């Protein structure tokens, strides 16, 4: 019996932890088992051909909101060319309405509901020995003209019984240039009504010994990034800190991503995090809303003042990359209230602001409450909210435009100085008003419908500020110029950003780098290089801001940007008096 486990990831850089666990748990000498991962950007026919060529007897798909439509097309087509293949679906997108999925998709033979390791193994054993499926908990299937739902399966209590999917060095080549997902626990201590994790009412942990063994192996293999998928990694702070300390004690440059509850961070934990070096930890923190009535309505029990206070401390006292989340479309979140939440979250100056939109996921309480709040949402995955009794679609569409600009400008991290100046000075702290005005500028200029080069994006925001506030433009363009030079080595400045360089700037640059005292003082690492080699690493721009405090100065002063091959940002920036 040949078994194939497969899924469609959202991006090439992603990998499937579900398939990794299922594969290791269900490996058995009685059958041949292999995995195949594709992406939603791959051609339908290419995936279909690839799966057909495997000639599987049993084909299992892991289903999520981002891939369910493509999977439904695939299973329909593959059943036509392999009518005797046995097709199994699993995952959150089919676990909560399994009977309806089978009714609507005749190609589906069986659905595994909830956690799949034990159920899949028992299904494969039943198929191998031609035994009945009815005794197996947690499955739904069609038999004798009726759909059978067996009793729910209790969650796996001993997570260490799942063999590690990362213990074989020969398999790690697959993860080159991909994110490795890792979990130290299953379940969530919270009960937020919009979240699929609220349907799992037990919080279980892998043993610390197992976790440390896995992480030591992965870090030792030089893995680039490990993303922990624990819903609240610091639910047990002592355990979380022990794992963090352990990974930092190991040699290597692996980067780690955690989803944390910031409100519960203790002073001791914050003091520890202040010692973590840059480029090691990324924190994703769900704020969702700062409106107390909204938080209460979604069963999100959090001290919002403490949450915001701790995020400020993380931003000010640590070198951790911070990603914060807001959700539009929640109960009581009208357009005006969302502006308030947005401005409060924006003031935190996190590295990334994820403006997300509520999705009415299957199995969640908020989906059961759709009539209570008059939710209008997409019939097909991802079930994104279009409107509710508090916010209409016109308002939601403006938030969608703002989200696109946030991702293009703010979340890239390339406009820090200029965006800070815009929000704090030109818009007097009303960041939402700026993004709303900027979205209107894009809309009126028909800019959303076109692609734009990096330089063009700078020109657009430059022209926007020149149009709305010409008095502030000279200062703003210096901020924008600095951001542009700090985000990558230029060839020329973008159109609309003016240079103050003297006519003989090239000759002056060579005069600087030919001066051994200048090189010794400012570029000692280049002391052995020739002037020509140094020149290839430098960019000189006369600027009307003081780099010490970023205040405007009347007389332009030379600023040196030192670049290194293979690195996006300059490795050094300095200004001469």
Here the CATH number for the domain that contains residue 252 is 3.80.30.20
Say if residue 324 is in the same domain as residue 191.
yes
The answer for residues whose C-beta is within 8 angstroms of residue 349's C-beta and 6 or more apart is 315, 420
538-546 sheet: strands from edge to edge = 538-546, 551-562, 572-575
- Secondary structure, 3-state, 104-119: HCCCCCEEECCCCHHH
Say if residue 359 is in the same domain as residue 416.
no
Residue 453 is predicted with a pLDDT of 92
- Secondary structure, 3-state, 486-499: HCCCCCCCCCCCCC
Residue 402 lies inside a defined structural domain of this protein:
no
Asked whether 483 and 537 are in contact (CB, 8 A), the reply is no
Residue 171 is predicted with a pLDDT of 66
Residue 157 lies inside a defined structural domain of this protein:
no
Say if residue 487 is in the same domain as residue 505.
no
Q: How far apart are the first and last CA of the chain?
A: 76
Say if residue 136 is in the same domain as residue 186.
no
Say if residue 294 is in the same domain as residue 438.
no
Say if residue 418 is in the same domain as residue 505.
no
Residue 406 lies inside a defined structural domain of this protein:
no
Residue 155 lies inside a defined structural domain of this protein:
no
- Secondary structure, 3-state, 60-94: EEECCCCCHHHHHHHHHHHHHHCCCCEEEEECHHH
Say if residue 238 is in the same domain as residue 331.
yes
Closest CA to 207 of 161, 139, 144, 151: 161
Say if residue 34 is in the same domain as residue 107.
yes
Residue 249 in tokens: 């004690």
- Report the distance separating Cα 1 and Cα 30, nearest Å: 8
As a whole number of angstroms, the longest Cα–Cα distance in the chain is 89
Residue 360 lies inside a defined structural domain of this protein:
yes
Say if residue 371 is in the same domain as residue 461.
no
Instruction: Give the three-class secondary structure for 142.
Output: strand
Residue 398 lies inside a defined structural domain of this protein:
no
- pTM for the model: 0.92
Residue 442 lies inside a defined structural domain of this protein:
yes
- The CA–CA distances, whole Å, from 78 to 88, 141, 263, 274 equal 13, 19, 49, 54
Domain that includes residue 341, residue range:
166-391
Residue 166 is predicted with a pLDDT of 84
Q: Which of 339, 361, 391 is the last residue of a domain?
A: 391
Residue 543 is predicted with a pLDDT of 95
Say if residue 17 is in the same domain as residue 91.
yes
Q: Which of 91, 117, 149 is the last residue of a domain?
A: 149
Say if residue 362 is in the same domain as residue 445.
no
Q: Is 114 left (phi over 0), alpha (psi -120 to 50) or beta?
A: left
- Structural domains of the chain, count: 4
Here the CATH number for the domain that contains residue 82 is 3.40.50.2300
The answer for residues whose C-beta is within 8 angstroms of residue 359's C-beta and 6 or more apart is 65, 194, 377, 382, 383, 384, 385
Length of the chain: 577
Q: Which of 114, 149, 184 is the last residue of a domain?
A: 149
Residue 489 is predicted with a pLDDT of 87
Say if residue 301 is in the same domain as residue 175.
yes
Residue 158 lies inside a defined structural domain of this protein:
no
Orientation of helix 431-444 relative to helix 454-468, angle to 10°:
110
Tens of pLDDT along the chain (577 residues)?
999 999 999 988 888 999 999 999 999 999 999 999 999 999 999 999 999 999 999 999 999 999 999 999 999 999 999 999 999 999 999 999 999 999 999 999 999 999 999 999 999 999 999 999 999 999 999 988 899 999 999 999 999 999 998 876 666 666 767 889 999 999 888 889 999 887 776 799 999 999 999 999 999 888 899 999 999 999 999 999 999 999 999 999 999 999 999 999 999 999 999 999 999 999 999 999 999 999 999 999 999 999 999 999 999 999 999 999 999 999 999 999 999 999 999 999 999 999 999 999 999 999 999 999 999 999 999 999 999 999 999 999 999 999 999 999 999 999 999 999 999 999 999 999 999 999 999 999 999 999 999 999 999 999 999 999 999 999 999 999 999 999 998 888 999 999 999 999 889 999 999 999 999 999 999 999 999 999 999 999 999 999 988 899 999 999 999 998 888 899 999 999 8
The answer for residues whose C-beta is within 8 angstroms of residue 121's C-beta and 6 or more apart is 25, 26, 28
């Amino acid at each position: 019996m040949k078994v194939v486990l497969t899924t469609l990831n959202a991006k090439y850089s992603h990998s499937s932890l579900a398939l990794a666990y299922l594969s290791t748990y269900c490996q058995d000498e009685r059958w041949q088992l292999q995995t195949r991962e594709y992406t939603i950007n791959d051609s339908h026919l290419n995936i279909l051909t690839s799966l057909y060529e495997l000639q599987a007897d049993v084909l299992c798909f892991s289903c999520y909101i981002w891939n369910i439509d493509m999977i439904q097309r695939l299973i329909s087509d593959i059943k036509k060319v392999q009518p005797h293949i046995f097709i199994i679906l699993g995952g959150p997108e089919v676990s909560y309405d399994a009977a309806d999925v089978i009714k609507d998709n005749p190609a589906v033979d069986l659905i595994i509901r909830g956690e799949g390791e034990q159920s899949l193994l028992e299904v494969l054993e039943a198929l191998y020995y031609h035994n009945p499926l009815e005794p197996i908990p947690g499955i739904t299937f069609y038999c004798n003209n009726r759909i059978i739902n067996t009793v729910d399966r209790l969650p796996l209590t001993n997570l260490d019984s799942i063999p590690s999917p990362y213990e074989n060095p020969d398999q790690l080549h697959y993860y080159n240039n991909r994110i490795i997902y890792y979990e130290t626990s299953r379940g969530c201590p919270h009960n937020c009504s919009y979240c699929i994790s609220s349907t799992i009412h037990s919080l279980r942990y892998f043993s610390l010994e197992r976790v440390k063994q896995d992480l030591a192996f992965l870090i030792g293999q030089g893995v680039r990034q490990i993303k922990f998928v624990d819903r609240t990694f610091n639910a047990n702070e002592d355990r979380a800190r022990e794992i963090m300390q352990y990974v930092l004690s190991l040699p290597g440059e692996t980067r780690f991503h955690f989803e944390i509850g910031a409100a519960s961070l203790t002073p001791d934990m914050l003091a520890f995090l202040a010692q973590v070096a840059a480029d090691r930890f990324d924190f994703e923190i769900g704020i969702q809303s700062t409106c107390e009535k909204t938080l209460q309505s979604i069963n999100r029990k959090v001290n919002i003042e403490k949450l915001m206070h701790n995020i400020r401390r993380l931003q000010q006292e640590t070198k951790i990359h911070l990603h914060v989340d807001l959700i539009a479309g929640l109960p009581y979140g009208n357009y005006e209230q969302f502006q308030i939440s947005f401005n409060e979250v924006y003031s935190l100056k996190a590295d990334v602001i994820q403006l997300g939109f509520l999705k009415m996921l299957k199995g969640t309480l908020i989906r059961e409450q759709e009539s209570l709040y008059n939710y209008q949402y997409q019939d097909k995955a991802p079930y994104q909210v279009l409107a509710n009794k508090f916010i209409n679609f016109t308002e939601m569409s403006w938030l969608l435009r703002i989200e696109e600009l946030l991702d293009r400008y703010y979340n890239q991290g390339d406009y820090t100085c200029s965006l800070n100046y815009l929000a704090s000075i030109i818009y007097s702290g009303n960041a939402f008003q700026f993004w709303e005005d900027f979205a209107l500028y894009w809309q009126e200029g028909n800019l959303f419908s076109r692609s734009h080069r990096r330089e063009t994006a700078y020109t657009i925001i430059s022209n926007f500020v020149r149009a709305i506030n010409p008095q502030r433009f000279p200062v703003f363009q210096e901020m924008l110029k600095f951001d542009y030079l700090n985000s990558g080595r230029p060839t020329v400045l973008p159109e609309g950003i003016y240079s103050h360089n003297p006519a003989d700037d090239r000759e002056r640059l060579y005069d600087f780098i030919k001066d051994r005292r200048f090189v010794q003082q400012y570029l000692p690492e280049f002391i052995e290089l020739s002037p020509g080699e140094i020149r290839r690493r430098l960019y000189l721009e006369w600027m009307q801001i003081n780099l010490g405090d970023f205040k405007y100065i009347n007389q332009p002063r030379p600023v040196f940007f030192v670049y290194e091959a293979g690195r996006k940002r300059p490795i050094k920036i300095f200004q001469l008096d």
